[in-house]
């Protein structure tokens, strides 16, 4: 049986053990999935704990070369038909993955993205049809009167009008959890490894589109993302975010408003 490969890239992520426990409970018993973790140079005790999960194939790297780099090491060499790009802070049920797999098998798609939820069940609006510097300024600064003034713009930026009762073809989905057809992923060379972290999923989706491939968003399936908003809390991650933003707009064209 051609298993679906689940690729997880981590660097000392505190939530990954919740993710692995959920995978062990929900997906692993079916025998239809394999899990590969690419560890970007985490602490020794952390790696030892990862190695205690018998269903995990652990790839240990001596350096941290980023999110896309790690996933490429796993997925570009995989012989599976389908792969799942999975953050180390995702909780997912087997029924939702099965639904996504059914949809990618039924249509000519490069990727399928689920509805992403917060821990309290509210929606994380991660689908995008455009990217502009001003929108990121609004989200980062989060000034009350500005957010109210540009509420319609933010709602449009976050694609909040997408229907909840039917699937939609989208331009850009989130790489926190994405089912991909690996032949199409390989055709475009996987992730652009110039992005250490952030924007690499947007770039991947735009290259799928440029290649004539479709991405489906299905609100029937959902995952929980234990989102830490690292770039809002860490100056180091904020610098990485800004660097990736510069690379993204430098590649695809600057849009300020």
Going by pLDDT thresholds of 50, 70 and 90, the confidence category of residue 233 is low
pLDDT attached to residue 57: 98
Burial 104-127 (b: 16+ CB within 10 A, else e): beeeebbbbbbbbbeeeeeebbbb
pLDDT of 231 strictly over 60: no
**Closest residue by Cα to residue 204 from 223, 218, 184:** 184
pLDDT attached to residue 137: 87
Going by pLDDT thresholds of 50, 70 and 90, the confidence category of residue 74 is very high
Going by pLDDT thresholds of 50, 70 and 90, the confidence category of residue 168 is very high
pLDDT attached to residue 251: 98
Between helices 200-210 and 67-75, what is the axis angle to 10°? 50
Enumerate the β-bridge partners of residue 218: 114
The span from the CA of 8 to the CA of 4, in Å, is 13
pLDDT tens profile 195-207? 999 999 999 999 9
> 231 vs 100, which has greater pLDDT?
100
Enumerate the β-bridge partners of residue 86: 8, 177
pLDDT attached to residue 1: 63
Q: What tokens does 224 get?
A: 């929980």
pLDDT attached to residue 106: 98
- Give one DSSP letter per residue of 56-88, joined into a string: EEEEE-SS---HHHHHHHHHTT---SEEEEE-T
Enumerate the β-bridge partners of residue 5: 34, 83
CA R_g for the chain = 18
Neighbours of 179 (CB within 10 A): 25
The span from the CA of 86 to the CA of 21, in Å, is 14
The span from the CA of 181 to the CA of 105, in Å, is 9
Burial 56-70 (b: 16+ CB within 10 A, else e): beeeebeebbbbbbb
pLDDT tens profile 43-73? 999 999 999 999 999 999 999 999 999 999 9
Average of pLDDT values for 216-224?
A: 98
pLDDT of 7 strictly over 60: yes
pLDDT of 230 strictly over 90: no
Enumerate the β-bridge partners of residue 179: 84, 112
pLDDT of 229 strictly over 90: no
Neighbours of 2 (CB within 10 A): 9
pLDDT of 212 strictly over 90: yes
pTM of the model: 0.95
pLDDT tens profile 117-167? 999 999 999 999 999 999 988 887 777 788 889 999 999 999 999 999 999
Instruction: Find the range with the poorest average confidence among 4-18, 179-193, 215-229.
Output: 215-229
pLDDT attached to residue 227: 84
pLDDT attached to residue 225: 98
- If DSSP codes are grouped into helix, strand and coil, which group holds residue 188? coil
């Amino acid at each position: 049986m051609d298993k679906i490969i689940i690729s997880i890239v981590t660097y000392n992520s505190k939530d990954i053990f919740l993710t692995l426990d959920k995978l062990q409970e929900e997906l692993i018993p079916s025998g239809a999935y394999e899990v590969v973790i690419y560890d970007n140079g985490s602490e020794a005790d952390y790696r030892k704990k990862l190695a205690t999960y018998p269903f995990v194939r652990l790839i240990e790297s001596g350096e941290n070369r980023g999110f896309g780099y790690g996933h490429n090491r796993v997925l570009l060499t995989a012989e599976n038909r389908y792969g799942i790009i999975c953050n180390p802070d995702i909780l997912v049920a087997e029924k939702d993955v099965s639904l996504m797999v059914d949809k990618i098998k039924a249509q000519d798609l490069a990727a399928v993205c689920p509805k992403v939820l917060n821990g309290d069940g509210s929606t994380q609006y991660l689908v995008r049809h455009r990217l502009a510097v001003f929108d990121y300024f609004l989200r980062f600064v989060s000034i009350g009167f500005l957010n109210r003034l540009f509420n319609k713009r933010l709602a449009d930026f976050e694609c909040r009008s997408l229907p909840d009762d039917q699937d939609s073809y989208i331009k850009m989905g989130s790489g926190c959890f994405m089912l991909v057809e690996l032949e199409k992923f390989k055709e475009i060379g996987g992730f652009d490894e110039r992005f250490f972290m952030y924007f690499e999923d947007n770039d991947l989706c735009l290259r799928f589109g440029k290649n004539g491939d479709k991405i489906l968003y299905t609100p029937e399936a959902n995952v929980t993302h234990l989102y830490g908003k690292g770039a809002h809390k860490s100056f180091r991650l904020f610098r990485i975010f800004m660097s990736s933003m510069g690379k993204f707009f430098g590649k695809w064209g600057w849009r300020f408003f």
